[in-house]
């Protein structure tokens, strides 16, 4: 005789079953809304940063060094815009469904294209390297920041709260975007209890 029992039919549910199911549903919805608010903040923040950098950073070097600066800055702006767009778009499927397959294909293309763009930017920085030490420092800092942002979104997660950064970064966790790319096209089982937040 099979002792395994499936879900309790609604007619046989006790008040305790109803309360427990309601509490679980409220928890899932609350977690989803919390993440959606977080993703909204992240998305707006990345897009705002791209706009500010595009407006302000070119003013930090002379006209003669603008080519080198834009070689460093364009890859950074591209990654930031892609990242901001990802966070805003992901609000539609977080804790509900996998990343849409078409969008996943687009971001896989971004991953390869951005690596080439960073390489081309590096060549440009070396080719038109600023002569002044201040301009050179600014240009190299921008390019390195772009490389770090690329790694943070497409290779390994680097962004953590300051207090636990050294411990967390050593865990080599996959970025949220990469997790979404890996699960795209699979059936979504729903958020697991106790699953770590993004």
pLDDT digits (tens, 9 = 90+) for 163-176: 888 899 899 999 99
The whole-number pLDDT of residue 197 equals: 46
- Specify the pLDDT at position 195: 40
Nearest residue to 188 (alpha-carbon basis) of 197, 179, 178, 196: 179
Confidence of residue 138 (pLDDT cuts 50, 70, 90): very high
Residue 5, pLDDT > 70, answer: no
CA distances from 7 to 10, 21, 26, 143 (A): 9, 11, 19, 56
What was the pLDDT predicted at 88? 97
pTM, two decimals, is: 0.79
State the average pLDDT over residues 42-46: 97
Q: Whole-angstrom Cα distance, residue 130 to residue 62?
A: 9
Query: pLDDT: is 50 or 29 the higher one?
Result: 50
Q: Which residue has the tokens 């993703």?
A: 39
Res 19: pLDDT = 57
* Rounded distance between C-alpha atoms, residue 88 and residue 6, angstroms: 38
Reference 97, options 185, 2, 8, 179; nearest CA is 185
Confidence of residue 12 (pLDDT cuts 50, 70, 90): low
What's the pLDDT score for residue 188? Answer: 55
CA distance 33 to 197: 12
CA 42 to mean position of chain CA atoms? 8
Task: Give yes or no for residue 119 having a pLDDT over 70.
Answer: yes
């Amino acid at each position: 005789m099979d002792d395994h029992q499936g879900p309790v039919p609604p007619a046989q549910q006790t008040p305790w079953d109803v309360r427990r199911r309601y509490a679980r549903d409220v928890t899932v919805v609350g977690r989803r809304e919390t993440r959606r608010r977080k993703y909204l903040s992240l998305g707006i923040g990345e897009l705002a940063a791209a706009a500010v950098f595009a407006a302000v950073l070119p003013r930090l070097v002379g006209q003669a060094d603008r080519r080198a600066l834009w070689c460093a800055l364009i890859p950074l702006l591209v990654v930031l815009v892609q990242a901001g767009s990802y966070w805003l778009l992901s609000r539609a499927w977080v804790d509900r469904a996998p990343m849409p397959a078409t969008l996943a294909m687009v971001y896989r293309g971004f991953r390869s294209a951005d690596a080439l763009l960073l390489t081309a930017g590096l060549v440009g920085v070396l080719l038109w390297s600023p002569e002044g030490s201040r301009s050179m420092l600014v240009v190299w800092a921008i390019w390195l920041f772009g490389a770090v942002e690329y790694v943070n979104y497409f290779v390994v997660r680097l962004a953590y709260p300051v207090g636990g950064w050294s411990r967390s970064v050593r865990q080599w966790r996959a970025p949220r975007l990469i997790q979404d790319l890996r699960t795209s096209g699979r059936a979504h089982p729903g958020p697991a209890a106790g699953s770590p937040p993004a």
